[in-house]
Amino acid sequence: MRKRIYYFTGTGNSLRTAIKIAERLGDAELVSMRTEPDEVSAEDCDVIGFVYPVYHWTVPEHVVKFVEGLKINPNAYIFAVANPSFICGFACEKMAELIRAKGAELSLADVVHCVANYVIVYPPFPSPKFMVPRMEKKAAKIAGDIANRLTKAYPKAGAITRRKMKKFMGPYLELQKYADYPFTVSDACIGCGLCAKVCQCKNIELSDGKPAFLHHCMNCMACVTSCPKRAIGYEITAGDRELLNAAGRKTSIVKLMGLPKKRKLYRNPYVSVQDLTKDTIEIH
């Protein structure tokens, strides 16, 4: 029986959840969604999982595109686990919709609430010391449900989220294409290339020994939090602001964005930078 879990992760929370599920399932393969979907088809799998963070109350666009491009076995046991901080929104129902478009059904979808990792907007919270043990517990519970092939209705967006999605998140989603414009690279950069290796979207190339951002960024925070020299910053210049405002009306989140030098960064304590560079991980 072939078991495969596809994951997208910037700071390791989703990868940690995926690892815990794979450990409980045994003999499972983890595949990063930075791979090309046509190279990692799930047509031969009997258990198929999707594990991902929540961005802007829904499934990250990179994950949507990956799942759309993936071939699956429609008769498999298929599950999804969203890893938001507080607002899961449409992240389960959107995945259900993507799977349904492939002629299959989600057997189970669930949620692990995690440390909020959008460090160019806010410091990580709630405190990892408080939150990580809770995340471990919830992931273990879901892993047990999946190992027992439980079927369960997925959580849906609440009435307020449903009503406010377009107003709050619509403009912000429009700005996604400019997400990496404000990245800066300081003289501390040693050209090690780690930022390119951890990037979940293949959005970084080294050019003259410095990272160049290719404008299909999801703001996953992997490069920011993995740089050994803390050389990557985020500063919205007057030019960027003009672009951002022109693109999508002013949003309160954009006003908050920036990365002060001393702000705390975050990576899940069970996940190493090396783990973030991997395309596949075998769990026995």
Q: What is the binding site for ligand FMN (CB under 6 A)? A: 9-14, 53-57, 83-87, 114-118, 219-221, 268
Q: Which residues contact 140 (CB under 8 A, 6 or more apart)?
A: 20, 24
**Which of residues 2 and 216 has its CB atom nearest to ligand FMN in the complex?**
216
How far is Cα of residue 162 from the mean position of the Cα atoms in its chain?
A: 21
Using CA atoms, how far apart are residues 10 and 118, in angstroms rounded to an integer? 10
Choose the binding region for ligand SF4 from 30-38, 95-103, 126-134, 182-190 (rule: CB under 6 A): 182-190
- Residue corresponding to tokens 């973030």: 276
Shortest reach from residue 189's CB to ligand SF4, in Å? 3
| Other beta carbons less than 10 A from residue 229's beta carbon | 14
Q: DSSP character for 265?
A: -
Closest CA to 254 of 171, 197, 194, 177: 171
- Total residues in contact with ligand SF4, by rule CB under 6 A: 30
Choose the binding region for ligand SF4 from 75-83, 139-147, 191-199, 265-273 (rule: CB under 6 A): 191-199
194 binds, among ligand FMN, ligand SF4, none (CB under 5 to 8 A by kind): ligand SF4
**Which of residues 101 and 214 has its CB atom nearest to ligand SF4 in the complex?**
214
**Which of residues 47 and 87 has its CB atom nearest to ligand FMN in the complex?**
87
Using CA atoms, how far apart are residues 51 and 9, in angstroms rounded to an integer? 8
Contact status, residue 88 vs residue 54, Cβ threshold 8 Å: yes
Task: Give the N- to C-terminal CA distance of the chain in Å, as an integer.
Answer: 13
**Which of residues 73 and 83 has its CB atom nearest to ligand SF4 in the complex?**
83
**Which of residues 24 and 267 has its CB atom nearest to ligand FMN in the complex?**
267
Choose the binding region for ligand SF4 from 74-82, 139-147, 210-218, 263-271 (rule: CB under 6 A): 210-218
